[in-house]
């Protein structure tokens, strides 16, 4: 019975992890930007959600949508600032790594200065009252709400990529940015939009992440970034569908480890990351090994 519990919990968390990581993969896929501030964007989404809940009594589920427009705007502005240096760089991946490491540090410091260093949480009762019973087991209701919210959000990103013209252009750039320019796609414009969308979906998951990770605090960014990297590397870097597979594998593996090897479970992201990099560097769904 415990095994079933771990698998169901793993799937619920897996859907959340897919939502948590998809923005990182989108941003990486298009411009090879390694966004080390990914977890900090989630953290800011979390604080926004906390603030909106306590000041304006806005449900965190609504905040999932509310944080999107300002983050898209912020994404455009950031993209304009970094686009020049990145397109001139000989090794844009490395430059983006350093740039966003700096952004990560700045965001963490700013939030600490203005909001203090304490962990904050939003009560589960803001989303749901009581547990959910499923197959004879009882689960926290928020897990189901968050997983349920993750499905349409991830689904929207996938629909956008596979069913809209802009999404098709985005995937063309992911496949080969130079050839995309050679067929007349405005690579800069589409990349800026994708960067904005990627950041927005990341802030968006932040609004409900506190229910799954126990709260929000200014220093949580690094761990969330590592977690998201593990998920997208497992699934396949640059493959958006792979993020869902990666999230589910990660979620179930983590819950099973918590059941059978609890003291080792926090190693799971690193172990899975290393295992994938050693044995299937292109990720579970990947066909080609990345050149870099």
Partner 1 sequence: MSKLVVEELSVSLEGKRVLEGISFEVDTVDIVGIVGANGAGKTTLLNAVAGLIQTTTGKISLDGVDVSQLGPEERIRRSLGYVPDGPGVFRSLTVRENLMVGGMVRGDEDIEMVITLFPDLKNCLSMLAGSLSAYQRRQCAFGRALMSRPSLLMIDELSLGLSPISADALARTLPDIAAYQVGIILVEQDIDRTLSLVDRAYVIEGGSIVVDGSPGELLSQGSFVEKYLWGS
Binding mask 198-237 for partner 1 (x = CB under 8 A): ----------------------------------------
In terms of CB distance, is 170 or 225 closer to partner 1? 170
Residues 128-187 that bind partner 1 (CB under 8 A): 165, 168-169, 171-172, 174-176, 178-187
Q: Which is nearer to partner 1, 167 or 206 (CB)?
A: 167
Smallest distance, partner 1 to C-beta of residue 175, A:
4
Encoded tokens for 173 = 């750039």
User: Which residues, 6+ apart, have CB-to-CB distance to 46 below 8 Å?
Assistant: 206, 207, 209, 210, 216, 220
Q: Closest distance between partner 1 and the C-beta of residue 237, in Å?
A: 13
| Between 168 and 223, CB nearer to partner 1 | 168
Least Cβ distance, residue 6 to partner 1 (angstroms): 34
DSSP notation for 84-112 = HHHHH-SSHHHHHHHHHHHHHHHHHHHHH
Judged by CB under 8 A, the chain residues 23 through 62 that form the site for partner 1 are none
Is the Cα torsion angle 272, 273, 275, 280 positive or negative in sign? positive
Per the CB < 8 A criterion, the answer to whether 203 and 24 are in contact is: no
C-alpha 46/C-alpha 54 separation (Å) is 12
Q: Which is nearer to partner 1, 91 or 176 (CB)?
A: 176
In terms of CB distance, is 164 or 223 closer to partner 1? 164
> What residues form DSSP beta bridges with 138?
133
CB 13 within 8 A of CB 212: yes
For 291, residues 6+ apart whose C-beta sits below 8 A from its C-beta are none
In the complex, minimum distance from the CB of residue 190 to partner 1, in angstroms, rounded to a whole number: 10
Query: Residue 165 CB, nearest distance to partner 1 (Å)?
Result: 6
Residues that bind partner 1 (CB under 8 A): 165, 168-169, 171-172, 174-176, 178-187, 287
């Amino acid at each position: 019975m415990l095994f079933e519990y771990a698998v169901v919990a793993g799937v619920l968390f897996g859907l959340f992890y897919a939502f948590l990581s998809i923005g990182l993969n989108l941003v990486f896929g298009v411009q090879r930007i390694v966004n080390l501030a990914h977890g900090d964007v989630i953290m800011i989404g979390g604080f926004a959600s906390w603030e909106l809940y306590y000041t304006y009594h806005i449900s965190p589920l609504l905040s999932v949508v509310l944080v999107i427009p300002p983050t898209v705007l912020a994404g455009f502005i950031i993209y304009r600032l970094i686009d020049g240096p990145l397109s001139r760089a000989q090794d844009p991946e490395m430059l983006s790594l350093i740039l966003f490491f700096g952004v990560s540090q700045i965001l963490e410091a700013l939030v600490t200065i203005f909001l203090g260093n304490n962990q904050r949480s939003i009560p589960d009762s803001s989303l749901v009252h009581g547990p959910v019973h499923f197959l004879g087991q009882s689960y926290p209701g928020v897990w189901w709400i968050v997983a349920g919210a993750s499905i349409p959000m991830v689904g929207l990103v996938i629909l956008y990529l596979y069913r809209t013209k802009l999404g098709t252009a985005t995937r063309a750039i992911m496949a080969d940015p130079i050839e995309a320019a050679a067929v007349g796609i405005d690579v800069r414009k589409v990349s800026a939009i994708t960067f904005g969308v990627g950041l927005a979906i990341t802030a968006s998951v932040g609004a409900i992440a506190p229910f799954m990770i126990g709260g929000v605090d200014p220093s949580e960014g690094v761990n969330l970034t590592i977690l998201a990297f593990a998920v997208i590397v497992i699934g396949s870097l640059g493959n958006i569908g792979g993020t869902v597979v990666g999230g589910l594998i990660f979620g179930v593996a983590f819950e099973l480890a918590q059941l059978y090897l609890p003291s080792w479970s926090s190693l799971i992201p690193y172990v899975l990351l290393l295992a994938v990099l050693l044995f299937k560097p292109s990720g579970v769904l990947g066909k080609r090994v990345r050149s870099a």
